[in-house]
Amino acid sequence: MIASHIIVMTLVYGSSYAILATGLALIYGVGRIINLAHTAFLMMGAYLIWFLVSTLGWGFPQSIAAVVVGIGLLGALVYRFLLHRIREHQAAVLLMTIALGMVM
């Protein structure tokens, strides 16, 4: 019983870390942007899903769909208004994403 729980939780945590690492690698590989606010966007999405399900009584699939669209739009707005202008300066992008992660 306990061994199966340990195995399942290890797989859950490991897959979460793998998804995070894949997202970071994809952002850097495609956009050449070091986005250290990536995990802040993920946590904001997780908290929003929890809020929609527990407080507002939305269904889980509807909450996930709404949050994916909302966080995707937020990420596009952050890129357009904060990162696009300083994209050529990697140190400035790094500092901006650190600050954005701290603000979130």
Tell me what pLDDT residue 31 has.
Answer: 84
Span 5-25, average pLDDT: 92
Tell me what pLDDT residue 25 has.
Answer: 92
Determine the Cα–Cα distance for residues 82 and 34; give it in Å rounded to an integer: 14
Span 28-52, average pLDDT: 91
Determine the Cα–Cα distance for residues 8 and 88; give it in Å rounded to an integer: 43
Q: State the average pLDDT for the chain.
A: 92
Span 28-33, average pLDDT: 87
